[in-house]
Amino acid sequence: MAKLGVRPYPECSESLSGYLLRLSEVNGLINIQELQSAIGVEKSKINGWGHWSGAQINYLSGPLSDVLGRDANRHISFTLGNSMKRWQFSDRRMFKELVVDFMRVCPGCLASNKRLDWRWCIGTVARCPIHRTPLLDTCPDCGSQLRWDSNIFRGCTTCSKQWSEIDSLPASGTKFSKLEADLIPDENGDIRATSDALDKLCVAILKFARPYDCIYQVLQRIPYSLGHSDLILHVLKEIDNSSRAPRAPEPDFEINARVTDDPHLITREMVEYVRPSRKKWIRNGDLSALRYQADHLGLSEYLGVSKPDLLKVTEADLIQPINSTSIVRDQLFDVREAVKVLSVMPAPADTSGYRLLTVKDKALRSHLCKYGEVLCAVLQGEIPGYFDKGCDMSTVRVREEELSLWLARKFERECDGPVALPAASAAIGCSIEKTKKLVKSGHLALARWQRYVDAIDGPSLYALVSERHRSHD
Ligand SMILES: [Zn+2]
Ligand SMILES: [Zn+2]
């Protein structure tokens, strides 16, 4: 392959993608894709200019060495040296990678030096450390998103407005706060901000971008949204204002359930920060519906019940997911649908004979019953009952008489088979030690050998408890 006409060396702090784009520009090519085909790298092998994987580098290095007439690996490791630091990657962070894929520039820097600084690709950097102006991802003149095109060195990639001609550039701002300064990588690519501070910052960014959501899910990288630097500056200001740890607006679940269509709120929510798979499940393109989406854990927190208790309700199809999967981990719910299910059970005119039941009720344990099972029975009309508040399942009011009968039948059914030792002890209302003594003394029988736990023979438990009830009566 023929060598390129102009073969510059990478410069200090230049990103790999930035170097390739400059190489394209000086050789009259419009972008990196065109450079790739000109030097013989398959287009499909490299896409995305933020993060470079080992495989992508392998595809690039051979052809690039050929057209440069020297070992390109030196250039690649030189440009990637800073931008592949460990702090940029973490699996437990809300954004696994801090490197962004979209173009960000400091027009002031570009006006004096045609070079793309690798730090502009770090999503937690908001401003140019030299000019203190917010990094641009969108043209201030025509409003188009800046692209990875070689005319970026002169001006806007859409309207070609020169950087030096744009007069509406953001003014240099105030001094950097300690956190903002700590987030700017130094010459070696290191930052002073701790890993913990980065984790908290990422949570704050996500919550700031989606203030009304029921759930927050990990994203691979920080997504593009119009004016990304402004978002980061807002979050940094918010953190700075609170002297304590980073604090973001907590989603208010009570308000959530009541909020309907406030267009002002919707414009402040950034749809880019929602996993693409969730967008499939909204109807009529109504993006505000995203904030009501909850996974199993989110819905259980919203309704005030434990995950296993909610599972009883969803497994019985009494609250249905909005997506069609039966894998619990992947199920998505609309909290408004759940609230609807509860609100169709209004309080009766005469509430005498009803009593409050919660997960802690002793009657549940003494009848080998889970709270979620009573919830199902109420929702299915087996026990007359209702929910005081439309979006709260942590308490339910049930009619005593039917509840007692239902619990008695439930206990009888549970005693058909073996009963785990702790559950049996709870049903009797004594300690596990005491239950073991009851077995020794012949008042209870052990179930046939169970694999994991000691278990009591159900019928013997039923006989013991019934006997006790009779003696009480
Ligand atoms: Zn600058
Ligand atoms: Zn423009």
* Amino acid letter, 201: L
* pLDDT given for residue 238 in this prediction: 84
Q: Which residue has the higher pLDDT, 85 or 250?
A: 85
Ligand number nearest CA of 144 is 2
Ligand number nearest CA of 120 is 1
Q: How far is the CA of 127 from the centre of ligand 1 (A)?
A: 8
Ligand number nearest CA of 134 is 1
Q: Residue 50: pLDDT above 90? A: no
Residue 273: closest CA among 332, 201, 184, 202: 202
Residue 255: pLDDT band with limits 50, 70, 90: very low
Percent of the chain with pLDDT over 70: 92
* pLDDT given for residue 172 in this prediction: 67
Q: How far is the CA of 331 from the centre of ligand 2 (A)?
A: 42
Q: How far is the CA of 134 from the centre of ligand 1 (A)?
A: 9
Q: Residue 264: pLDDT above 90? A: no
Residue 167: pLDDT band with limits 50, 70, 90: low
Q: How far is the CA of 40 from the centre of ligand 2 (A)?
A: 31
Ligand number nearest CA of 105 is 1
Residue 16: pLDDT band with limits 50, 70, 90: very high
Q: Give me the chain's average pLDDT, please.
A: 88
Contacts of 220 (CB under 8 A, 6+ apart): 95, 96, 97
Helices (H) and strands (E) in the chain, counts: 20, 9
Q: How far is the CA of 157 from the centre of ligand 2 (A)?
A: 7
* pLDDT given for residue 450 in this prediction: 61
Residue 451: pLDDT band with limits 50, 70, 90: low
Q: How far is the CA of 229 from the centre of ligand 1 (A)?
A: 13
- Residue 238 phi, psi (nearest 5): -60, -45
Q: How far is the CA of 36 from the centre of ligand 1 (A)?
A: 29
d(CA 249, CA 252): 9
Q: How far is the CA of 162 from the centre of ligand 2 (A)?
A: 9
Are the CB atoms for 397 and 354 separated by under 8 Å? yes
Ligand number nearest CA of 172 is 1
The tokens for 387 are 């929910």
The tokens for 209 are 């971008």
* pLDDT given for residue 454 in this prediction: 82
d(CA 261, CA 136): 32
Q: In 106-159, which residue ranges form alpha helices assigned H by DSSP?
A: 107-112
Q: Which residue has the higher pLDDT, 453 or 70?
A: 70
Q: Residue 316: pLDDT above 90? A: yes
Is the model's pTM score more than 0.75? yes
Q: How far is the CA of 194 from the centre of ligand 1 (A)?
A: 25
Q: Residue 46: pLDDT above 60? A: yes
Q: Residue 234: pLDDT above 80? A: yes
Q: How far is the CA of 110 from the centre of ligand 1 (A)?
A: 7
Q: How far is the CA of 172 from the centre of ligand 1 (A)?
A: 10
Q: How far is the CA of 114 from the centre of ligand 1 (A)?
A: 11
Give 144-155 pLDDT, tens digit per residue. Answer: 999 999 999 999
Question: Which of the listed ranges 222-226, 268-272, 281-285 does the model predict with the highest average pLDDT?
Answer: 222-226
Give 172-224 pLDDT, tens digit per residue. Answer: 678 899 999 999 999 889 999 999 999 999 999 998 899 888 889 999 999 99
In the numeric block, the tokens 């208790």 are attached to: 309
Q: Residue 135: pLDDT above 50? A: yes
Percent of the chain with pLDDT over 90: 63
* pLDDT given for residue 241 in this prediction: 78
Determine which of 229-233, 251-255, 280-284, 398-402 has the lowest per-residue pLDDT on average. 251-255
The tokens for 323 are 């997506």
* pLDDT given for residue 253 in this prediction: 42
Contacts of 238 (CB under 8 A, 6+ apart): 204, 208, 246, 247, 248
Q: How far is the CA of 120 from the centre of ligand 1 (A)?
A: 10
Q: How far is the CA of 106 from the centre of ligand 2 (A)?
A: 15
Give the strand pairing for 354-358 and 395-399. antiparallel
Q: How far is the CA of 245 from the centre of ligand 1 (A)?
A: 30
- What is the arithmetic mean of pLDDT over 2-17? 92
Give 64-120 pLDDT, tens digit per residue. Answer: 999 999 999 999 988 887 777 889 999 999 999 999 999 999 999 998 899 999 999
* pLDDT given for residue 288 in this prediction: 85
Question: Which of the listed ranges 123-127, 283-287, 445-449 does the model predict with the highest average pLDDT?
Answer: 123-127
Q: Residue 318: pLDDT above 60? A: yes
Q: How far is the CA of 176 from the centre of ligand 1 (A)?
A: 14
Give 359-392 pLDDT, tens digit per residue. Answer: 999 999 999 999 999 999 999 999 999 998 777 8
